[in-house]
Amino acid sequence: MKIGVAATAPIGADVLERLAQQHEVAFLLTRPDAPRGRGRRLAPPPAKQVAQQLGVPVHQPEKPELPVEVDRMVVCAYGLYIPPRLLERSLWLNVHPSLLPRWRGAAPVERAILAGDEETGVTIHRTVAELDAGPVAAQEAFPVGEMDAGEVFARAAEVAARLLGAIIESPRFVPQREDGVTYADKIAAADRELHLDDPVDAWRRVRALSPHIGAWAILHGRRVTIWKARLADGAFVPLVVQPEGRSQMGYEDFLRGLR
């Protein structure tokens, strides 16, 4: 069986690495290199970096194309629309880190944490023209607990690889439920601002946006990104912060610097 992978983001890179341990991956389809960091220098997507380490051929067209015919295409956080003409050429299996039909869309992990969901999970479904609406081949839930987004993504990648290993050769599909559909909008600038008068929401927001985006607040007159925090008797307590123009530091170190 020839398998291709379409992935860009870190969770896609993680799934690629795990999948390659069990199957021969014919190629990686990923997005073009893009400017990143303060210097805005071109940098490869995380999935490309993993593919190069594994010796997997990499293809980076501006619009999706299949370089060779494959029996299966595994999609995970690719980020580009797959046109119907390509969906007809192979069986495309999408790895989505939520319990579909809840949290279809761009930011399912972040939205689940922000909403205070007690559990989330992974759904493997057939890619169709409608957003994250294809029939389901496998699904598994796990508790969110106090995990941040990075920890949820890592857990989701492990679950996804295991589910794919069980169904990729002979998947059987069931339609998604029609009730309970929600959409996970892309994280916007307004989502990053912490409202410290709502400690629970602030704590969830820090977890939802860590370690990849970051949530910010004004602390002691300075704009600070807060990367880790906890709730203590209902109060919001920063743990790891990053003042503008500075590196990450413990909150106590930040306070000492103010004094």
The Cα 246–Cα 119 span in angstroms is 35
List the domain boundaries for the chain.
Answer: 3-183, 189-258
Task: Specify the pTM.
Answer: 0.95
**Please, are residues 238 and 220 in contact by the beta-carbon 8 Å criterion?**
no
pLDDT reported for residue 257: 87
- Kindly tell me the burial class for residue 206, based on how many C-beta atoms sit within 10 Å of its own C-beta (0-12, 13-18, 19 or more): buried
What kind of fold does domain 3-183 have according to CATH?
A: Rossmann fold (3.40.50)
Mean pLDDT by 10 residues, the chain (259 residues): 96 97 96 85 96 98 96 97 96 98 98 98 97 98 98 98 96 96 97 97 98 96 97 96 95 90
pLDDT reported for residue 15: 97
The Cα 144–Cα 126 span in angstroms is 25
pLDDT reported for residue 16: 98
CATH architecture of the domain covering 189-258: Roll (3.10)
Write the CA distances from 256 to 114, 218, 249, 253, integer angstroms. Answer: 31, 17, 11, 5
pLDDT reported for residue 38: 72
